[in-house]
Amino acid sequence: MTRLAKPIVFALCLLPLAWLAYRGWTAGFGAHPQEYVNRFLGDWALRFLLTALAVTPLRQIGNWPQLARFRRMLGLYAFFYVVLHLSSYVVATHFFDWAAIGKDILKRNYITVGMATFAMLTPLAATSTAGMVKRLGAARWKKLHRLVYLAGIGGVFHFFMMVKADWREPLLYAVILSGLLGWRVWRRARVKG
């Protein structure tokens, strides 16, 4: 069973994408398909990012050391959905209108934050292999990968700044993220003190 756990989680993480493809094939994406696809992928990018950030707290709270081996996969899936989300923005939302995209990045705060978040996650994905951990050295690698906390905050802010009036969903993500980061701060303080 434990041998199968990784492939099972790997397949589960592809379910949102499979569902998107199925819906596109059968029912279409509704009245504003570009927006639908972009939001769907953005939602899942954020969910995977928070799930990856939940691994360590769950592992420690639940005394569940086996969870650690899913962390890299979940983190990479978060990046995978971020890349798809960004691609849909370039290809579907703007249809390669680079001038409009450039202006968006400079002028639209939520786009600026979203791009910054993508920029933070890229080196983390690039250094996710065992070889890269070795090459960087564990201490430096760990330091670099603390960027994920900032990326989590960036992702939630990106969502928060996008909504016009209904901030309930981004608030939910903010609460979850605060819990995940707050727990780390609290534990660190307790261990030190």
Partner 1 sequence: MLIKHVRARDPLSSEITPRAVFEGRRRLLKAAAAAGVWAFAPAGAKAAKPVRGEPIPNLAPWPKSLSEPPTGYELATTYNNFYEFGFDKEDPARHSKSFKPRPWTVAVEGHAEKTGTFDFEDLIKPHQLEERVYRFRCVEAWSMVVPWVGVPLGDVLKRLVPTAKAKYVAFQTVLRPEEMPGQRLPLLKWPYVEGLRLDEAMHPLALLTVGMYGERLPNQNGAPLRLVLPWKYGFKSIKSIVRIAFTETEPPTTWNIATPREYGFYSNVNPQVDHPRWSQAKERRLGDPFFSPKRPTLMFNGYAEDVAHLYAGMDLAKLY
For residues 39 to 78, the per-residue mask of contacts with partner 1, x marking binding by CB under 8 A and - elsewhere, is ----------------------------------------
Position 152 contacts partner 1 (CB under 8 A): no
Minimum Å distance from CB 132 to partner 1?
Answer: 36
- The whole-angstrom separation of Cα 38 and Cα 89 is 6
With CA atoms as reference, report the closest residue to 48 among 128, 127, 130, 148.
Answer: 148
CB 66 within 8 A of CB 2: yes
Q: Percentage helix, strand, coil, to 5, in the chain?
A: 85, 0, 15
- Tokens describing residue 75: 């983190």
Q: At its nearest, how many Å lie between partner 1 and the CB of residue 152?
A: 22
Taking the C-alpha atoms of residue 173 and residue 46, their distance in angstroms, rounded to an integer, is: 8
Q: What's the min distance (Å) between Cβ of 98 and partner 1?
A: 12
Considering only 30, 123, 137, 182, the residue that binds partner 1 (CB under 8 A) is 30
160 binds partner 1 per the rule CB under 8 A: no
158 and 113 Cβ atoms separated by less than 8 Å: yes
Q: Under rule CB under 8 A, which residues in 120-149 are in contact with partner 1?
A: none
Binding mask 82-121 for partner 1 (x = CB under 8 A): ---------xxxxx-x--x--xx--xxxx-----------
* Smallest separation, CB 120 to partner 1 (Å): 22
Yes or no: say if 133 and 141 are a contact pair by the CB < 8 Å rule: yes
Minimum Å distance from CB 30 to partner 1? 7
Residue 12 CB burial class (10 angstroms; 0-12, 13-18, ≥19):
exposed
Q: Which residues bind partner 1 (CB under 8 A)?
A: 22-23, 26-27, 29-35, 91-95, 97, 100, 103-104, 107-110, 162, 164-168
